[in-house]
Structure 1
Amino acid sequence: MGRGGCEGTQRHAGLVRWDRFMNHRPLAHRRYEPTHYEHAANCATHALWIMPSALGGAALHWQAGDGWQRLMAWVYGAALCALFTVSTAFHTISWKKSHLRTVEHCFHMFDRVTIYFFIAGTYAPWLNLRELGPWAVHMRWLVWMMAAVGSLYIYHFHERHKMLELLFYSIMAVCPALVILSMPDQDGVLELAVGGLLYALGVVFFKSDGRLPFAHAIWHVFVTLGAATHYYATWRHLYKPCALFPPSLRLLDEP
């Protein structure tokens, strides 16, 4: 066999090895079908963060100085938990879907809807616990209106126009960010920008299924990093620092 034939055989062998970890890209208007390895990675990369999200929301509640801060802590904590819980549930059902086609479809829609409310919940503490410009106050309820409209779009046009759907997510993420820039107090804006950049970089992998093995799991990692950065910003700049235990427990340490 000539050198060209050997190189072709080696390339083919390399493709065969990758086929274990990645399927071919889907046709238009069809969803990508992950391999078993990718399914496992998709589940694990978000399941690991369900409990930390619940503890993170509780930590903000313990640090809250008034009822409004406590309410925002639960809204934000619920959004975090919902994102990772629903994503894990969907990917688990999708992995074991032999007779759960309808349930899988519903959870896929629920997963996409949850992203809209996660964006709204992430912004909620910043829009309600910080002073905003007079023209920006309306964003406090507009962000939830955008989440509701996005949910209706998912219900009626799920998976039909993928790029349009991605555009809607991007618009919803950017509009409140522009409002936050009007805050007189700019503490935490840098961390919010870094978190937003991590989400944006992750979108590259979100759109790379069938081109890069474990692309969706890598997207999950970027989501986790972005969420962690935004959580740090919220904890550090909107709530009292260094309160890791409930007040009732901290009293035990006081003389």
Structure 2
Amino acid sequence: MSQAVSFSASPSVPYHPEKVNQLTHGLGFALTVPAAICAIIAASSSCDTVGFWGCVVFGITMMGVYGASTLSHSFDDKPAVKDLWRVLDQVAIYAFIAGCFTPFALTYARHPFGITALVLMWVMCLAGMARRILRRGKPLNSLDIAFSVTAGWIPVVTLLDMITAGGAIGLTLVFTGALAYLVGIYFLMNDHRSPYWHAVWHLCTMTGTACHYAFLMLFIIC
């Protein structure tokens, strides 16, 4: 999620923060495209139809969030365009929160409890998207963060399914990724304190995504 914080380059800030923000998630987007393609191709031969489409959702939302984030840190000379991408970035984050759980729920947690959790997660994320659209132009607040974190932790109710699917290694990947996102939120909410803390948030999200992508490839698609 992008905060409306602006720092200028200076002797103490040698690299323009928005350029750093753009480059970090630009790299993330460049990595997610082949990653998504590989996952979808692999899923087409190893997953059933429902599981395959779950992987497609993961791939599309993953590319979408990094692409939107990169563009939300572009267009400094076009504020209206930049603000539009900022909103789309925040909407895409909610889509990816639900998209991360979708392939797992449609493979290892395809039972009433797991599907209920998936539906609840998507409903919460859709509500979060609507909230960000209605509050466009306003900074994130504690309610926004609480909403996204709550939605993001819904999958913990399928913990036994995660253990069945990935064992200790899989569980470590899932929770390391979740921890990376949580640590990143601190830097996101305090990015007004340092010109490069927003980029640290970006690096944390990339770490979280890498962990969950590894879980997808090793234990869901495999």
2:96 to 118, 129, 132: 118
- Residue equivalent to 2:62: 80
Compared CA separation, residues 137 and 67, structure 1 to 2 (3 A): closer
- Residue equivalent to 1:185: 164
Aligned-pair distance for 1:156?
A: 1.6
- Deviating 4+ runs (over 4 angstroms): none
Deviations 1:151-191 (A, max 9, x none): 11112223266111111111111122x22214261512221
- Residue equivalent to 1:215: 197
Return 201-210 or 81-90, whichever deviates more: 201-210
Compared CA separation, residues 134 and 182, structure 1 to 2 (3 A): farther
Pairing 1:148-227 to 2, within 5 Å after superposition: 148-158=126-136, 159=138, 162-176=141-155, 178-183=156-161, 185-187=164-166, 188-227=170-209
Quick check: which has more Rg, 1 or 2? 1
Compared CA separation, residues 160 and 63, structure 1 to 2 (3 A): closer
- Residue equivalent to 1:106: 84
- Rounded to whole Å, the distance in 2 between the matches of 1:136 and 1:167 is 22
Aligned-pair distance for 1:147?
A: 1.6
- Normalised by the size of structure 1, how large is the TM-score? 0.75
Amino acid at match of 1:52: L
Please give the root-mean-square deviation of Cα atoms over the aligned residues, in Å.
1.9
Q: Which structure: greater helix fraction?
A: 2
Q: Secondary structure at the match of 2:73?
A: helix
Indicate conservation of the 8 Å contact 2:53/2:103, yes or no: no
Q: Secondary structure at the match of 1:129?
A: coil
Amino acid at match of 2:159: L
Unaligned runs of 5+ in 2: 10-15
- Matched residue pairs, number? 206
Unaligned runs of 5+ in 1: 1-29, 241-255
Amino acid at match of 1:112: Q
